[in-house]
Chain A
Amino acid sequence: MKKLIPEARVSRPRPKPPLPTRLSSRHLLGLEGTSRAELELIFETAETMLGVLDRPIKKVPPLRGLTVVNLFYEASTRTRFSFELAEKRLSADTVNFSASGSSVSKGESLVDTVKNIEAMKIDMVVIRHPSAGAPHKLAREIDSPVINAGDGQHEHPTQGLLDLLTIRRTFGRIEGLVVTIVGDVLHSRVARSNIWGLVTLGAEIRLCGPSTLMPVEVERMGVKVYSELDEALEGAHVVNVLRLQRERQQSGLLPSIREYSRLWGITPERLAHMHPNHIVMHPGPMNRGVEIVPEVADGPHSVILPQVTHGVAVRMAVLYLLAGGSERGAA
């Protein structure tokens, strides 16, 4: 059985083992349980992919002849675009499926739909679904590798990876950094994926947000919860600002959006508490003026647009590695 409490992190210099050449799982369902070596492999691969994206001709052949299906059971623009671009950059054929216009409305189950699509001879599935665990169910039922592009409030592993890559590229490391995640952690799959990756890589993680939006016993993931934003940001290297959905106020979890912005909105004054070389991240789409003010979103410390670029690279890396990596031919 899995240990419920993560073991205490012992900080001693560890010899660098050679990177593995492939991921241990056929699927990417979440960052919980993804090892440090696998994360490093994804980052190294993503660095190569960033090189590809800087070339005048941004297309390489490793996924040529493979077909990737993007199954989006939930509205998404950027994640779907990012995956589709990543697939195209790697020369894969892509098919998009979105729930609104298809057999879902006729009452067909997720597994039936995907088995039908698989019978058309596809090679990989990217799935975004409003129910936590839906990608896990698919992974058990079909033969193709499954990439989780966000499942309910569970995980969004490629977003976690792109956030980690952004931090790593800025500071050259992740171990020992202080990362503060601010906002609606309860409903955030982005926060969960970030936390698992950061815990594995040895960062200090602080969470801050309204107590009604903090998950139960979240401390057991290996984080510290703060109620005061300034305290949570004190000396932090990274602040990752979560999107606040307006329906949280409607469902009674918050008294008002106004109070939320006053207490947890990220402003230049708040940033004064952080490490001088800090960065500001946001998974998008932003509610400007609610969780983040424009001066910060567009300010000198913002890495929000580089995050988007890193997203394509990280997704290319994951697709490449799950398709067989160098065994299929180098990028």
Chain B
Amino acid sequence: MARPSPFSPRRGTGTLVIAGGRLIDPASGFDGEADLRISKGRIEKIETANRLSARDIERGGGQVLDARGKVVSPGFVDLHVHFREPGREDEETVLSGSQAAVAGGFTTVCCMPNTEPAIDRQEVVQFILHQAESAYCRVLPIAAITRDRKGDILTEMGELKRAGAVAFSDDGSPVEQAATMRRALQYARQFGMPVAAHCEEMSLSAGGSMHEGYASTRAGLRGIPSLAEELMVARDIELAAECGAHLHLCHLSTARSVSLVREAKKRGVKVTAEATPHHFSLTDDLVPERYDTSLKVNPPVRTASDVKAIIKGLQDGTIDCIATDHAPHAREEKELEFDQAPFGLIGLETALCVSITSLVRPGKLSLPELVALLCSRPAGVFGLTAGRLSPGAPADVCVFDPELPVQFQAGSFHSKSQNSPFADRPWVGTVVQTLVDGHIVYDRVAATG
């Protein structure tokens, strides 16, 4: 017999009470036992006084979601995913990517424009938004900085914004010429739009397939030095400082990058930054163990001291949010030899458990701090209204069990691709339900009985 699907398409709006859970809403600072009342797809209120009794919850039926022993938080927001549509629908589509998203507790994701064709003109933005209408979560397009992401001619940023783009990025490639990046920052600034930079000095990284260090020496693989990222971070910070534009730095991976951002923030540069779960949980010495290509990612996973610095950056606010850089790849491509395989790993479904296991359980961050890094803070970076449980806001909610162990295998991910370095290891922290507009779009319980 086929297992019932955990997914339910977004259909209209829901009215219900999520009762008995620990409610965490970083935007309002709320953290405590409360019922979340949802009416017609919107948050009605956080109810602390007239809470449903255990008996009410048990016989509540369809109007009550039992969240006892669980955490109820705003749905997560991911500023950095690759959904491969249009162009590589065999690897991921907006629809399949949105399934992976809601299975990971994400209700709003921003998809990068390195598609084929690139999201560099209005029609492609409109196409993404059209596909997003039938997606399980909100999918917001990020448009390219330059036409075809080639690094020379700026895109029509004003029209792209009007069409629905939320930021600009040539992610996957840096904007190589400083003059082009400077113009991009100047031009984006007049529309109040952030420019999200993939920082990589290509002449230093060329031919590399992992972090340059002792592990690459052992592995006999060409390395990507930390400096390849740091030089670009330094350049882009200076350019943003001069232009007064909002620079968002994607996937910081090195200790020095974190300190460059810290210094820039101190002197008032309008810079924000994200870090991915793999950059605060994995290290380069794993590569020579098995040459597992799911560990091949750009920027590469780095050393234990870089991991420590990233975590420090998350703790002191230097790094504004967690983003997954969810990058699906076809199995036959990831099955190539390590130096031939493409860069990237999938991260939407594992972000919560990897973050809880690597950050919360060892006491690096409190649970409310982690929730903030996954919802209100990324929303703030791109100026999105998502990521909060304020009355009147769309009822996008994640219900998760922070203590429940979880394990993934290749084949068990809801993404179309299975290239995860987090499979086959035990993690703690499981998404139980995800709601968009008060409607349960993902229900793990429904699938597992």
Residues of A within 8 A of B (CB): 1-2, 4, 32, 109-111, 129, 131-134, 136-137, 140, 151-155, 189, 192, 215-218, 220-221
* Contact (A131, B335) CB under 8 Å given A32-B218, A136-B290, A137-B291: no
Across the interface, do A218 and B217 meet the contact criterion of CB distance under 8 Å? yes
Q: How far does the Cβ of B131 sit from chain A's closest Cβ, in whole Å?
A: 31
Contact B335 A111, beta carbon cutoff 8 Å: yes
Q: How far is the CB of A150 from chain B (nearest CB, A)?
A: 10
A132 to B340, CA, bound (A): 10
B residues less than 8 Å from A155 (CB atoms): 220
CB-CB under 8 A from A218, the residues of chain B are: 217
18 A-B pairs in the complex with CB atoms less than 8 angstroms apart: A2-B289, A4-B285, A32-B218, A109-B335, A110-B336, A110-B337, A111-B335, A131-B337, A133-B221, A133-B288, A133-B291, A136-B290, A152-B339, A192-B218, A192-B220, A216-B216, A216-B223, A221-B217
Cβ–Cβ contact A136 & B291, under 8 A: yes
Q: Would A153 and B214 count as touching, CB distance under 8 A?
A: no
The answer to whether B337 and A216 touch across the interface, beta carbons within 8 angstroms, is no
Whether B214 and A216, one on each chain, are in contact in the complex, defined by CB atoms closer than 8 angstroms, is yes
Cross-chain contact B332 with A109 (CB below 8 angstroms): yes
Nearest Cβ on chain A to B418's Cβ, whole angstroms: 16
With a cutoff of 8 Å between Cβ atoms, the chain B residues found around residue A221 in the complex are: 217-218
- Residue pair B332, A132 in contact (C-beta under 8 Å): no
Q: Which positions 30-56 of chain B face chain A at CB distance < 8 Å?
A: none
- A217 x B291 contact (CB < 8 A): no
Is B338 on the interface with A (CB-CB < 8 A)? yes
A132 touches B338 (CB 8 A): yes
Identity of the chain B residue whose Cβ is nearest the Cβ of A189 in the assembled complex? B220
A109 to B334, CA, bound (A): 11
Shortest A59–chain B CB gap in Å is 35
> CB within 8 Å of A: which of B314-342?
332, 335-340
Residues in A with CB closer than 8 Å to B291 are 132-133, 136-137
Most chain B Cβ neighbours within 10 Å, of A132, A215, A218, A221: A132
- Residue of A1, A131, A136 with most partner-chain B CB within 10 A: A131
Structural contact, A132 and B217, CB atoms closer than 8 A: no
Residues of A within 8 A of B216 (CB): 215-216
A216→B212 contact, CB < 8 A: yes
Please give, as numbers and ranges, the residues of chain B lying within 8 Å of A154 by CB-CB distance: 219-221
Q: Are A152 and B221 in contact (CB under 8 A)?
A: yes
Q: What residues of A have a CB within 8 angstroms of the CB of B60 in the complex?
A: none
Chain A residues near B212 (CB, 8 Å)? 216
Query: Besides A132-B220, A133-B291, A134-B337, 8 other CB < 8 A contacts?
Result: A32-B218, A110-B336, A137-B291, A140-B290, A189-B220, A216-B214, A217-B214, A221-B217
Taking residues whose C-beta sits less than 8 angstroms from the other chain, chain B's interface range is 20 to 34
Q: Which residues of A contact B336 (CB under 8 A)?
A: 109-110
Residue in contact with B220 in the complex, picked from A110, A111, A137, A151, CB distance below 8 Å: A151
Q: How far, in Å, is B291 (CB) from chain A's closest CB?
A: 3
Instruction: Verify B214–A4 contact, CB threshold 8 A.
Output: yes
Contact A129 B220 (CB under 8 A): no
Q: Could you say which residues of chain A place their CB within 8 Å of the CB of B285? A: 1-2, 4
In the complex the two chains form, what is the Cα distance from A131 to B339 in whole Å?
A: 6
Contact of A152 with B220 in the complex, beta carbons under 8 Å: yes
Return the chain B residue nearest A110 by Cβ.
B337
Q: Which of B55-110 contact A (CB under 8 A)?
A: none
Q: Contacts of B290 on A, CB cut-off 8 Å? A: 136, 140
A2→B214 CA distance, assembly (Å): 13
What's the nearest-Cβ distance from chain B to residue A216, in Å? 5
The answer to whether residues A132 and B335 also contact, given A137-B291, A216-B212, A220-B214 and a CB cut-off of 8 A, is no
B308 to chain A, nearest CB (A): 15
B289 partner residues in chain A, CB cutoff 8 A: 2
Which chain A residues lie closer than 8 Å to B340 at the CB level? 131
Question: Smallest distance from the beta carbon of B90 to chain A beta carbons, Å?
Answer: 16
Q: How far is the CA of A189 from the CA of B218 in the complex (A)?
A: 10
CA distance A189 to B290 in the complex (A): 17
B217–A216 touching, CB < 8 Å: yes
Interface flags, B215-229, vs A, CB<8A=1, else 0: 011111111000000
Which one of B213, B217, B219, B337 lies within 8 Å of A129 (CB-CB)? B337
Query: Which 9 residue pairs across A and B have the least CB separation, nearest first?
Result: A133-B291, A154-B220, A131-B337, A153-B220, A215-B217, A217-B214, A132-B220, A133-B338, A220-B214
Quick one: CB contact mask for B299-310 with A, threshold 8 Å, 1 for yes?
Answer: 000000000000
A286 nearest CB across to chain B (Å): 22
Measured in the bound complex, the distance between the Cα atoms of B291 and A174 in whole Å is 31
Taking A2-B285, A189-B220 as contacts, is the C-beta distance between A132 and B214 under 8 angstroms?
no
A residues less than 8 Å from B332 (CB atoms)? 109
A187 CB → nearest B CB, Å: 9
* C-alpha gap A92/B210 in the complex (Å): 39
Out of B213, B220, B335, B339, which one reaches A216, CB within 8 Å? B213
Q: Tell me if B223 and A132 are in contact (CB < 8 A).
A: no
Chain B residues with Cβ under 8 A from A189's Cβ? Answer: 220
| Smallest Cβ-Cβ distance to B333: which chain A residue | A109
| Interface mask (B266-300 → A, CB under 8 Å = 1, otherwise 0) | 00000000000000000001001111000000000
How many angstroms between the C-alpha atoms of A215 and B210 in the bound complex? 14
Whose C-beta in chain A lies nearest to the C-beta of B340?
A131
Q: Which residue of A lies closest to B303 (CB)?
A: A4
Q: Is A133 touching B218 in the complex (CB atoms < 8 A)? A: no
Q: Assuming A109-B332, A155-B220, is B339 touching A132 (CB within 8 A)?
A: yes
A252 to B116, CA, bound (A): 35
Closest to A131 in B: B337
For B338, what are the chain A residues with a Cβ–Cβ distance below 8 Å?
Answer: 131-133
Complex CA gap A216/B339 in Å reads: 18
A152–B207 Cα gap in the complex (Å)?
Answer: 13
In the assembled complex, the Cα of A131 lies from the Cα of B338 at a distance in Å of 7
Q: How far, in whole Å, are A136 and B220 apart by their CA atoms in the complex?
A: 13
Measured between beta carbons, the chain A residues less than 8 angstroms from B220 are 132, 151-155, 189, 192
Complex: A131 Cα to B221 Cα, angstroms: 8
Q: Which chain B residues in 218-243 approach chain A with CB under 8 Å?
A: 218-223
Bound: A2/B216 CA distance, A: 15
Which chain B residues border A133 with CB–CB below 8 Å? 219, 221, 288, 291, 337-338
Selected from A111, A152, A192, A217, the residue in CB contact (under 8 A) with B213 is A217
